[in-house]
Amino acid sequence: MVFFCKPDRIYRQKKIKVEKICELIKPGYRIFLSSGPVTPVYSLQHILNSHHPNCSDLEFIQLALLGNVYEQNRGSSTTFRIKTFTVGENIKHAFEEGKVDLIPSTTVGLPHLFTTDVIGVDIAIVQVSPPDRRGYLNLGLVTDVTELALQKASTVIAEVNPNVPIACGKTRLHISQVDYLVESSWPLLEYQVKDYDRVMDTIGWNVKQLINNNSTVSLSTGRMYHAIAEHLKEKENLKVISHVVSDWVIELIEAGAIKPRKIGRWKSPVRASSYIGSNRLYRYLHRNPYLKVEPLLYSRRQIEIQNIRQLCSVMNVKKIDASGDSVAIYSADLQVAGFDAKLNFAEAATHSREGKSIVVLPSLDQQGSSNIVIQHNRNKEHVRSTLGTTSYVVTEYGIANIFGKSIRERTLALIEIAHPRHRRPLFEEAKKQGYLQPEQINIPENTINYPHELETEQIFKNYLKVFFRPIKPSDEDMMRRLLYQFTEEARYRRFFSPFRVITHRKMQPYVNIDYHYTLSIVGVVQKRGMEKIIAEARYAYDEDMDHYEMAFVVDQEYHGLGIASFLREYLISTALNRNINKLAAFVLPENQPMIAVLEKASIRPVVHKRTGEWEFHFNLEEELFDSLPENMFKKPIF
């Protein structure tokens, strides 16, 4: 576009005093206001405090409300209504007085409301930066649907404020596209986040385990996201795509977690429609190519996010039911940039290669009630469906992978990460409601004793990444699938019995262990979001023999990679740390692969070759552990 008139001349011609705005308004006008930190406070306050007869029966259209401008002007002589997509404390009284029209919408449908004139705009007032030498103003921190509103408005008023940063992205507006200019130096509205607590810190630590290097993360605003970002600082080559970004992004960039290889069009590592936080964030965004501002649901971006590899969305909720699909959301999420926006990215994550859709919540609410429920019985107006997008649920007590799991499996997995004092009541209610089978075993003391410190990750040949952890009751189906795939001969070698059927009743005591007298470590791999147990090693105390008997089983597809050898050393290491003195293994003579594994142990076994079986005895009390390599085990991830 070519502009023939000098920008400074246009500026002088279009500059007006703020009092002039009321003369441009007519009763019944629909006035669009830029949102969040770039709310045109100076112009809005003048309208609200004006006694001009034109300022009557006005309708203010605003997406994201920040600050208390409307609350501070409750005694205004101006009659108005607020048309918005959110209800919060900042317009609480206006809502109670019937001055708010709340429009239910989605991030997908919102732009359509403006393009089809369902929401009409007579005047648009937007806050912008001063023009550059070519006459370009900058919309700064928030673009959402501003571009659409400016196109539809009959009159465009720009509140020029030097505090508005010049943002990179689709944020430019030429002075010739504006009808009037009003100068202001009003401070930008800030969103202050309180410090996160210990529970949120632990949740952040757990989420870190799910997000790999080179991932693209979708986070939002609030204490929970600051806690998560704090633990992501040690990651590498992260990118961010979200509707709303806050101060946590600065910490990730300065820590080097966000460090793009190339800056350019569509290469900015951080992209969002709104940047809402403190003045530090606003200053940081000024001319920063790392941070890009894009319109809400910019079409090219929406096509692109479906194809982003390793897209990880994080959604914070208030409560979740046993299905993992029905959640209660916070009141602050009843907005277009709240739950629906997060759900938009959760859906995209399910289509992403190696993507993950993560739901996070504390195990308890402020009253001490469980945030994990079997069914939602309270505040049902805040209950929403995640549309089957949830892959993981995270509390301070751990991570539940529910992707592709049945309701029964999900119920068990979620009870395992509930607060310990609520696990038994949840279990009993789940059985009563038919979510669990009548013979399902529950031993709360065992789940409380779950040894998180034994969780670790190891990489084997062919870059196979295996996550090792103690077995859980919710692993029943995966363990059954592992055992069923072996031939009867292989099962006989491992269990000394060629059993054909592995019933639910038989598996119950196998997966419900005390982690002290019996310990089972399973090896888990991920395949397109689905967990699969490929190996197990366990020891169990034999009171008659006064020793711990150990055994191993590895999926035949994964033989020859060193997994059995790793598990052998891991059990020995764990036994030593727990002051166990004697380990034993009993092997059929024809099971030569397992004999070879045991003979190569770092602690030399005493072998008794008897008819029908070989006995391997490891006397840990008499042996030193010096023969183990120092880097045998990676640092546990808990």
Place domain 7-183 in its CATH homologous superfamily: Glutaconate Coenzyme A-transferase (3.40.1080.10)
pLDDT > 70? residue 59:
yes
Contact 297, 111 (CB under 8 A): yes
For 172, list phi and psi in degrees, rounded to 5.
-85, 145
pLDDT of amino acid 630: 47
Amino acid of residue 545:
M
Q: Can you give the length of the chain in residues?
A: 638
Contacts for 491 with CB less than 8 Å, ≥ 6 apart: 483, 497, 498, 499
pLDDT (mean) for 494-509: 70
113 DSSP β-pair partners: none
Residue pLDDT, tens place only, 249-263: 999 999 999 986 655
Q: Which helix (H) or strand (E) holds 301?
A: helix 299-305
Q: How confident is the model at residue 628 (pLDDT cuts 50, 70, 90)?
A: very low
For 419, list phi and psi in degrees, rounded to 5.
-65, 135
Domain ranges of the chain: 7-183, 198-401, 452-619
Strand boundaries in 446-578, DSSP class E: 456-460, 464-470, 518-527, 530-542, 547-554
pLDDT of amino acid 494: 59
% of the chain with per-residue pLDDT over 70: 85
| Cα radius of gyration rounded to whole Å, the chain | 30
Antiparallel, parallel or unpaired: β 319-321 and 372-373: parallel
Q: How far is 400 from 524, CA to CA, in rounded Å?
A: 13
Q: How is residue 126 annotated by DSSP? A: E
Predicted TM-score (pTM) of the model is: 0.85
Residue pLDDT, tens place only, 215-233: 999 999 999 999 999 999 9
For 157, list phi and psi in degrees, rounded to 5.
-115, 130
Q: How far is 607 from 605, CA to CA, in rounded Å?
A: 6
pLDDT of amino acid 86: 55
CATH architecture entry for 452-619: 3-Layer(aba) Sandwich (3.40)
> Closest by alpha carbon to 7, among 177, 230, 189, 182?
177
Summary mean pLDDT of the chain: 86
Q: Which CATH number fits domain 198-401: 3.30.70.20, 3.30.750.70, 3.40.50.10490, 3.40.50.10420?
A: 3.30.750.70
Q: How far is 262 from 265, CA to CA, in rounded Å?
A: 10
Q: How far is 395 from 227, CA to CA, in rounded Å?
A: 13
> Closest by alpha carbon to 45, among 68, 64, 69, 66?
69
